[in-house]
A = this chain, B = another copy of it.
């Protein structure tokens, strides 16, 4: 029922435009009563984005299961869930992207959805960094960076008509965040590993080198086996 309503709504939005389609039009097409629509969707806007609630729930569950995983890695992994939701229905996602560009109300709705993902990631990081210096601040900065990187990859993929490897594109974008923010490398579910005192990195950089480039080198050195 929910899916039938969402499909009827979306078909009408494409045919007649979002503003000119009423809830009555949608329920007539779906062959159900008006109250059925509002049982599933609080508003017309919600019918355009029927999968975000589930994806947010999946993200929360994923982060709860992440346990002692390195926190920045965990939120980057969680961000992939959103791209996978879009990539599961490429044609629908691309059509919706075009529709959203044209309807200010949908863009506003989208901003509030993006903010909900950001808050979900930040809440997890805040818990993980509780008591750490500037933990809450870092949680919000990293969550915002992860969302921005993800959305850059998502928008690029949508503008290209949903072609190409969506997951790889997100991973490439998230690498900019992992590089500068990811911390200790404790594997998921295990205790923090004892530091091995003898293992050191020596690195040489030119003064005045862009910090992000130095960080790339440090990251490469730290993860080398």
Binding site for B on A (CB under 8 A): 108, 111-112, 115, 134, 136-138, 140-141, 143-145, 147-149, 151-153, 173, 176-177, 179-185, 193, 195-197, 199-215, 218-219, 222
CB distance from A61 to the nearest CB of B (A): 24
CB distance from A45 to the nearest CB of B (A): 11
In the complex, A165→B196 CA distance in Å? 42
In the complex, A148→B183 CA distance in Å? 20
Chain B residues with CB below 8 A from A152, complex form: 136-137, 140-141
Which of these, B115, B193, B210, contacts A184 with CB under 8 Å?
B210
Does the CB pair A218–B199 fall under 8 Å? no
Does the CB pair B208–A195 fall under 8 Å? yes
Does the CB pair B176–A137 fall under 8 Å? yes
CB distance from A116 to the nearest CB of B (A): 11
Chain B residues with CB below 8 A from A182, complex form: 211
In the complex, A111→B89 CA distance in Å? 28
CB distance from A223 to the nearest CB of B (A): 9
* 28 A-B pairs (CB sep. < 8 Å): A108-B108, A108-B112, A137-B176, A140-B148, A140-B151, A141-B148, A141-B152, A144-B145, A145-B145, A179-B211, A180-B215, A181-B211, A184-B208, A184-B209, A184-B210, A195-B206, A196-B207, A196-B208, A199-B207, A200-B206, A201-B203, A203-B204, A203-B205, A205-B222, A207-B222, A211-B218, A215-B218, A218-B218
